[in-house]
Structure 1
Amino acid sequence: MISLSLLKATFFLGLITALTACGAYDVAELKEKTIDTTSYSGAVAEEYRKFVTFEADQMMDWQDAGYFAAKALKVLDDPTAAQPENYKNWNIDQQFVDDLEVGQGRLRIAMRLISPEEGAVNLAKAITSFDCWVEQAEEGWQIDHIAACQTSFNDALGDLEQQKNIKITDAGEATVRLVVHHDLDKSYPHSDDLVLIQSFASKGWDDLQLHVHVVGHTDRSGTDEHNKKLSVSRALAVVNAIKSTWPGEYTFSIEGLGETTPAVATSDGVPDVRNRRTEAEVTLSIEPEFPSIETAIR
């Protein structure tokens, strides 16, 4: 008589064999697929194809190759399926978790701020190299492979940062720097610079939390006391300009430095438009970091 345990073992062996066969079909289909790499879905699928080919042909890891081949084929049918793996769903040793947590947060904000149309190639590389990083971290022993995937991920995000002129922090936030200028002894920004603020506010990011730290400056014409007050007034004017155009939630802090930190060194009393500026560092985050509006003036 065949034992129950033997029957179970035979069943699971058959199941694994069937799943592996399905994965092999997906790998073969992906390898033979004609992919338009100029589209976002095509760029993602092509990056997965490189990864799948490596896993199948060099590492003989047909299970993971099949998994990511199926994912690539799904992306070709539905571009919204181009989503990174959640590393928490993988059996990953604790030594790799902190770095993956940082990477996941950075990728999350990048995907929110940068549309597929704007950054197709680099977004594709960021998503697929993160998945590569997750897969290699679960295996846990090929340290050079883990490092290579992590490096590819960071390089792709770095290219996206450069492309969009943003900085993505390890806290999963994005910072954008805005600089506006002012006429002599005036608080309101130049009209050309107001367009910059309006353009930022119209990007469709209003579901994100926004914090802006605004620092006003003056040139070296005028007294120290006058310039200190003027720099604060300029910072407030820029905050009001942002408030009038930004449709979402926000917090802000302001600072007026007077003539103490010129962009260009000049003699005392010399007016210079390059020094009549207000600098705003805007921080965007997905999680609600700022529950209420608070203003700090230094």
Structure 2
Amino acid sequence: MKKYLLSTLPVALLAITPVKVDAAVFFDNVAQIRTLAPTGTDFNSGLVREYKQLSIFEADEMYDWIDAENHAVKGVMASKGTTPMPSEPGDWSIDDPAKMGELKQARAGMMAVFNKGARTIAPLEAAHAQAKFDCWVEQQEEGHQPDHIAACKQEFETAMAGLHQAMEPPKKVEITPKKDSEMEVVTVVEEVARETVYFPFDKASIDATERAKLDLFVKDMKAIQPVVTLYIVGHTDTSGPADYNLALSSSRANAVRTELTRQGMTIGDYQELQVESEGETGLAVATADGVRERLNRRVVVVARGQVTKTKKVSITTQ
């Protein structure tokens, strides 16, 4: 359990065996997060959702109120506009040096991606990775449930793979003009913007909140010169038959295309538009079959455009 939380709890409470207790009395953040709706930036909103799930699971399924409160504290912080950092393994009572080193290395890798802008570019993927890392740290400290440790570790690694994929879209060199002295000017096509639209269960309709996100996206795209190429990819969760989900993801992708047009994005604003449907493949959050998951019910809109870059090159003469 987290050291600083242990020190704040009544001795009599810590001495008893795990039982259901009044969360509102001893664990007010657990009580608060139960009814908390995701708010704030996309990253903080994702953290609220992730820590809420962890907190409720620890409290209601494991009767581990101390770790439930620890996760809830972070979720409440995020809802109030303060972004909590991932757990520092050194702050936890993990005796195995190899496990501690593994956790520290994993955290360093995650923070390196965060420092490249992951919390802005792929906020929900980043929030998912942070929460799964905290789950791994917590379970590793407890140390008596190897299957739980392995599950949290695997979920973290899967989350990081998804985050890397979201951060590193394919790049294609389009033009290589002449070299000027020792500098080479190249124009590449790469991602310039990305937006994700989320859908209600078994629906292809776009609600007011998601339409507002697309409205801002359209304004940003109109300010980009030259025109961009748009990729619109529809997804579903794993609830329902695969063939039905493929058709549903197509309907969602086309709904987004229609909404972009309705909000004033015309053919003159982009040079190419590609609409794809992936059904229940390409999950944002790995789940078993038949699971309802909001983060998987989505359409991802990626805009790629020309970006001019200058790089230093070595010029040889003969």
Provide TM-score, normalisation by structure 1: 0.52
1:85 alignment partner in structure 2: 87
CA separation of 1:59 and 1:185: change in aligned 2, threshold 3 A: closer
Structure 1 residue 19, shift from structure 2 partner: 11
Which residue is equivalent to 2:59? Answer: 56
CA deviation map 1:203-233 (0-9, x unaligned): xxxxxxxxxxxxxxxxxxxxxxxxxxxxxxx
Identity percentage over the alignment?
Answer: 27
1:192 corresponds to which residue? 187
Structure 2: 5+ residue stretches without partners: 1-9, 191-308
1:172-191 counterparts in 2 under 5 A? Answer: 182=176, 189=184, 191=186
Partner of 1:103: 106
Q: Provide closer, same or farther for how the CA distance between residues 185 and 77 of structure 1 changes in structure 2, counting only shifts above 3 A.
A: closer
Partner SS, residue 93 of structure 1: coil
- Secondary structure of the corresponding residue to residue 311 of structure 2: helix
Give a deviation string over 1:38-93, Cα, whole Å, max 9, x none.
732121011001111111111110111012112211111124x3210100010013
Q: Is the CA contact 1:23–1:69 (under 8 Å) kept in the aligned structure 2?
A: no
Separation in 2, partners of 1:156, 1:87 = 19
Counterpart amino acid of residue 242 in structure 1? K
Q: Please name the residue that 1:163 is paired with.
A: 166
Which amino acid is 1:93 matched to?
D
Three-state SS of the structure 2 residue aligned to 1:103 is helix
Match of 1:25 in 2: 28
Amino acid at match of 1:13: A
1:242 aligns with 2:311: yes
Rate the CA distance shift 1:159–1:119 in 2: closer, same or farther, 3 A.
same
Output the CA distance in 2 between the equivalents of 1:93 and 1:77. Answer: 34
Change in 2 beyond 3 A, CA 1:163/1:15: closer
| CA deviation profile, 1:99-153 (whole Å, cap 9, x unmatched) | 2122111111011012433211111111111110000000011111111111111
Distance 2:46 2:155 in 1: 15
Q: Which has the higher strand share?
A: 2
- Of residues 141, 151, 170 in structure 1, which corresponds to 2:154? 151
For the 8 Å contact 2:23–2:30, the answer to whether it is kept is no
Query: Structure 2 vs 1, CA of residues 96 and 14 (structure 1 numbering), >3 Å: closer, same or farther?
Result: closer
Deviation of 1:190 after TM superposition, in Å, equals 5.7
Q: Deviations over 1:11-35 (max 9, x none)?
A: 7437989997655322121111222
Aligned length: 183
**Residues 178-220 of structure 1: CA distance to partner in whole angstroms, max 9, x if unpaired?**
8686469999646424x87xxxxxxxxxxxxxxxxxxxxxxxx
What runs of 5+ residues in structure 1 fail to find an aligned partner? 1-10, 167-175, 197-239, 244-252, 257-298
Counterpart residue type for residue 192 of structure 1: T
Residue aligned with 2:93, SS: coil
**Paired residue for 1:75?**
78
Contact preservation (8 Å) 2:59, 2:68: yes
- Structure 2 Cα separation of the partners of residues 58 and 117 of structure 1: 33
Matches within 5 A, 1:269-284: none
Partner of 2:197: none
Of 103, 119, 139 in structure 1, the residue corresponding to residue 122 of structure 2 is: 119
Larger helix share, 1 or 2 = 1
